[in-house]
Structure 1
Amino acid sequence: MAMYESEHTKFMREWLARNPQELEEQKKGRALWWDKPQDLEESARKAEARVPVKPYYYDANH
Structure 2
Amino acid sequence: MKFSKQFSLYESEATHFIQSLKSANPKLEQSQRDGRALLWDKAPVDLSVQKDTLDSIVPQQPYVYQNKG
AA of the residue aligned to 2:40 = W
1:29 and 2:35 matched: yes
What is the Cα-based RMSD across aligned positions, in Å?
Answer: 2.3
Deviations 1:26-58 (A, max 9, x none): 111221233111213322221111111110001
- Count the aligned residue pairs: 49
2:62 to 47, 51, 55: 55
AA of the residue aligned to 2:36 = R
Structure 2 counterpart of 1:38: 44
Return the index of the structure with the highest Cα Rg. Answer: 2
Q: TM-score, normalised by structure 2?
A: 0.53
Any unmatched runs of 5+ in structure 1? Answer: 1-9
